[in-house]
Amino acid sequence: MQTFGIIVLIIWLLNLLAAIITVFHEKRDISTTWAWLLVLVFIPVLGFILYLFVGRKISHDKIFTIQKEQEKVINALTKRQKEMWQKRDLDKDSTQQERELEHLFLESEGAFLTTNNQTKLFDDGKVFFKALIDDINQAKDSIHVEFYTFYADDIGHEVLHALENAAARGVEVRVLYDMWGSKGTNYKFFKKLEELGGAAQGFISSSAKQVITTPRLNYHDHRKLVIIDGKTGYIGGFNIGDQYLGRLPKYGYWSDTHMRVYGMAVIQMQARFMMDWNTTCRRTTKKRFEFEKRFFPVFEGNGHTKMQIVSSGPDSERQSIKRGYQKIISTAQNYLYIQTPYLIPDDSVLESLVIAALSGVDVRIMIPCKPDHPFVYRATEYYAKYLVDNGVKVYRYDNGFLHAKTMITDDTISSVGSANLDFRSFKLNFECNAFCYDDDLTKQLKAIYEKDLENCTLLTPEYFDKQSRWRKFKQYFSRLLSPTL
């Protein structure tokens, strides 16, 4: 019996040593480090299996590749604007709030400002997919598609059929999708498209080979972009799948937001796609995306929306989208409206929201009424309670599933894109958002938000107090692991 105890102690000490070496081998923030130490120490063996799939950071060679691709494309596009900024000759009509945000993105992310964009918002899947397919059918030169989810279901086949027709008439078609987010979709799904001259590949963080050789549940391509003829772009929260049309009873009606852009901001979307495609090509046999003027046309848009396309991901420590969110929160003066399906912010964003609310800003956050990931939803409930207790108004959307990722403030500034208000979007996934400076667009988004409020329940301290002890335990437990979710 004594021998058995010694063996157990030795195994535990070895497990502890291995946990410390494993976690501190890669640079992390303190909260994430402690969260993984808890998992590895108190869940021996199983914790290491979980770390294998979830905890490992993206390799340095991939980060280097992504950054090098970015340098090739972005540096030339932003150099001129930085010179203009220094001369105070860039966007003189902006408010101080707008100028500070514009400068933040220009310096930290190389996101140059465009001023001639025409926009159209979609908050219904049927309308969105009809517009997207119509634009694909009218494409003349190129179609570049990048989605986290591209399911081989009914709407997936509809979109694919439109892409195949485009390829058949000589349009260059490229599709980049995340294989983890597109479960059930494989290369055979795109076989006919490639026979017609198109190309499709799984994003580098989740290629078919890597699922076996380097299993990982993090670092996925969560962006949702379509670029047509280098002039028309789509960016937002919709993916390609039947649930986004409300066809799956599990979710019911699907509330989301996407934006169609016609203007020079599309050049930034094109550059983003080019970087992601070429990074993936290093591990596949697909043709690289070479810089050609036809992909980056200079044209005069007929709109008036000022916009910056901002990307973030594990290839950079800057967390540019998160910083943008923080800046908007900290400078909001009258109101701040947020929609997010996952509410798991880090401490800096959490306290920024509380400070804004306690300073008299009308801060409202809308979350879903049902989970698509139960464990994550319990963490969302924990943070919702904390915010409610500290002056933030949190609403539960009751008309189906809320998937929109929007932030609007003071009828002037708005953000539409793929990034949620959570650790995963801030640090673990590759995201892309449009930050816009336009009174009309912001008011349109505000109107959508207020329409959704009609189907919401305001969460109160009493609402959380009535929950069972077991549910509260799951919320607290989920919160402890929130940096790993």
Pair 144, 184: CB distance under 8 Å: no
Residue 368 in tokens: 């879903």
Residue with structure tokens 């309308």? Answer: 127
Active site residues: 222, 224, 229, 403, 405, 410
Alpha-helical segments (H) within 27-145? 30-42, 46-54, 60-86, 96-109, 125-137
Q: Give the bridge partners for 143, in sequence order.
A: 173, 228
In the CATH hierarchy, which fold is given to the domain comprising 60-89+115-305?
Endonuclease; Chain A (3.30.870)
Residue with structure tokens 């399911």? Answer: 151
Q: What is the pLDDT of residue 299?
A: 77
CATH superfamily placement of domain 320-484: Endonuclease Chain A (3.30.870.10)
User: Does residue 15 sit in helix, strand or coil?
Assistant: helix
**What pTM does this model have?**
0.83
pLDDT band at 63 (very low <50, low <70, confident <90, very high): very low
Burial 461-484 (b: 16+ CB within 10 A, else e): eeebeeeeeeebebbeebbeebbb
Better pLDDT: 43 or 202:
202
Angle subtended at Cα 252 by Cα 250 and Cα 256, rounded to the nearest 5 degrees: 115
DSSP state of 302: S
- With CA atoms as reference, report the closest residue to 387 among 347, 438, 418: 347
Pair 423, 344: CB distance under 8 Å: yes
Better pLDDT: 22 or 122:
122
CA 330 – CA 360 distance, rounded (Å): 12
Pair 381, 342: CB distance under 8 Å: no
Pair 397, 368: CB distance under 8 Å: yes
CA 193 – CA 163 distance, rounded (Å): 7
pLDDT tens, 393-450? 999 999 999 999 999 999 999 999 999 999 889 988 999 999 999 999 999 999 999 9
Q: What is the pLDDT of residue 479?
A: 82
Sign of the CA dihedral 466, 470, 475, 480? positive
CA 101 – CA 43 distance, rounded (Å): 43
Query: Could you tell me which residues come within 8 angstroms of residue 111 by beta carbon, excluding any fewer than 6 positions away?
Result: 78, 105, 268, 308, 309, 310, 311, 320, 435
Least confident of 54-58, 239-243, 289-293, 470-474: 54-58
pLDDT tens, 276-332? 998 887 666 777 877 788 888 877 778 999 999 999 988 777 899 999 999 999 999
DSSP state of 138: T
Q: What is the pLDDT of residue 436?
A: 98
Query: Could you tell me which residues come within 8 angstroms of residue 385 by beta carbon, excluding any fewer than 6 positions away?
Result: 459, 461, 464, 475
DSSP state of 364: E
CA 109 – CA 65 distance, rounded (Å): 17
Residue 111 in tokens: 């996101």
- With CA atoms as reference, report the closest residue to 152 among 241, 248, 254, 251: 241
Q: What is the pLDDT of residue 213?
A: 44
Q: What is the pLDDT of residue 126?
A: 97
Quote the distance between the C-alpha of residue 29 and its chain's center: 20
pLDDT tens, 316-349? 778 999 999 999 999 999 999 999 999 999 999 9
CA 316 – CA 110 distance, rounded (Å): 13
pLDDT tens, 248-264? 998 999 999 999 999 98
